[in-house]
Amino acid sequence: MRLGLACCFLLLTQLTFSQTENGKDAYSIGVKGIKLIDEGQFEEGIKLLKQARNLEPHDYDYAFEIGKAYLKSGNPKKAEKYLFELQYNKNSQADLYIALANCYLELEEVKKTPDSERKKELDALRYGILKLPSEGILYLELGKRKLTMEESVDALAVFETGIQKAPNFAENYFWAAKLMKATGNQLWAWFYAELCYNMTDDLDLLRSSAMLISASSNAVFELEWNGNPEKLDQSLNIVFSEKCSNSANESDLQLEKRKCLLENWNYTGFSISPLFQRLVELKNLGFLEAYLATILQENDKDAFLKWLPPHVKTFEEYRTWRYWNPMRTAKAVSRLNIY
């Protein structure tokens, strides 16, 4: 019995060592393959990736990289062959479902009569959402594809579901803001754009969000704005008309209007409270004016440069603070579930 146990132990040790060596070899070969693919040498790169996969046949990453390489090289049919089975792998990530959706998109484009509903493409993303419901990028991809199909109502529903399921993924807020503005809902265009602005570090997204914030918030701060019949809109409208109607729009910053709003509106009963908690934090830190100046910077350079000279120190302090403190929230924002 002891001899048998010793033999088993030696066999397991040898197998583990062999797997480790195979893993090292596969990794080395795989890295070379990916490098070749990045350089556009698809045939040689795929060949190396297949060698790596043969050494580690159960590894998720090598099969995924082969599928991506085929897709990148313009062969979506072979790419789909490698990517399809990975949908059911426990290690699957959001980028797999996006790649698979792109396969089906390209395969449909070469058909004489493509599927106008793009079912396989969208189903790949829907299945990804089912498996990974907190991956905000999957909602973003599905929503943007709905927009290309001119299904803006469905797209908005997807973006807003993404906001609830992945509240710290910034880009879904931006696209929801664009759709809100397009439908004339200036209040939620402002809210969504400003949430995105406080979360993202992407420069293009920051600029685009700042322009949406400026246009939509200015419309809301106008005396003629009445909003929709919803409780949130009417609560804000009362504060604007009864408490803040005489507030100035100092230096195009909205500083006095926003201060008045923060001091007089009880936002805690609404789902938008994370945004206003952020604004209160900025106010308490002495950064509210500098924060508003960053929005002004993207909308009116001359006005910003006029404001800047006496505020350089505070502005730089705010920018440093913002770099280390992007907005994060554990509480989902829901436009349709006002409580």
Residue 192 contacts residue 215 (beta carbons within 8 Å): no
- Higher confidence at residue 331 or residue 151? 151
Query: Can you tell me whether residue 284 is helix, strand or coil?
Result: helix
Neighbours of 301 (CB within 10 A): 10
Least confident range from 15-29, 266-280, 319-333: namely 15-29
Distance CA 68, CA 65 (A): 5
What pTM does this model have? 0.90
* pLDDT score at 20: 46
- Average confidence (pLDDT) over 256-260: 94
Distance CA 65, CA 96 (A): 10
Residue 261 contacts residue 252 (beta carbons within 8 Å): no
Distance CA 288, CA 231 (A): 27
* pLDDT score at 4: 52
Confidence of residue 246 (pLDDT cuts 50, 70, 90): confident
Confidence of residue 252 (pLDDT cuts 50, 70, 90): confident
Residue 72 contacts residue 42 (beta carbons within 8 Å): yes
Question: Is the pLDDT assigned to residue 287 strictly greater than 70?
Answer: yes
Distance CA 160, CA 150 (A): 17
Distance CA 294, CA 283 (A): 15
C-alpha neighbours within 13 Å on the C-beta side of residue 202: 10
* pLDDT score at 250: 58
CA angle 187, 229, 192 (to 5 degrees): 20
Least confident range from 5-19, 185-199, 217-231, 261-275: namely 5-19
Question: Is the pLDDT assigned to residue 338 strictly greater than 90?
Answer: no
Q: What average pLDDT does the chain have?
A: 91
- Higher confidence at residue 282 or residue 18? 282
pLDDT in tens, 12-62: 344 334 444 656 788 999 999 999 999 999 999 999 999 999 999 999 999
- Average confidence (pLDDT) over 235-258: 84
Helix spans in 41-135 (H): 42-55, 60-72, 76-84, 94-109, 119-131
Neighbours of 118 (CB within 10 A): 17
- Higher confidence at residue 80 or residue 251? 80
**Residues 117, 121, 123, 125, Cα dihedral to 10°:** -130
Question: Is the pLDDT assigned to residue 247 strictly greater than 90?
Answer: no
Distance CA 142, CA 129 (A): 9
* pLDDT score at 104: 98
Write the DSSP string, 200-225. ---HHHHHHHHHHHHHHHHHHHSTT-
* pLDDT score at 14: 41
- Please state, for a pLDDT cut of 70, what percent of the chain lies above it: 91
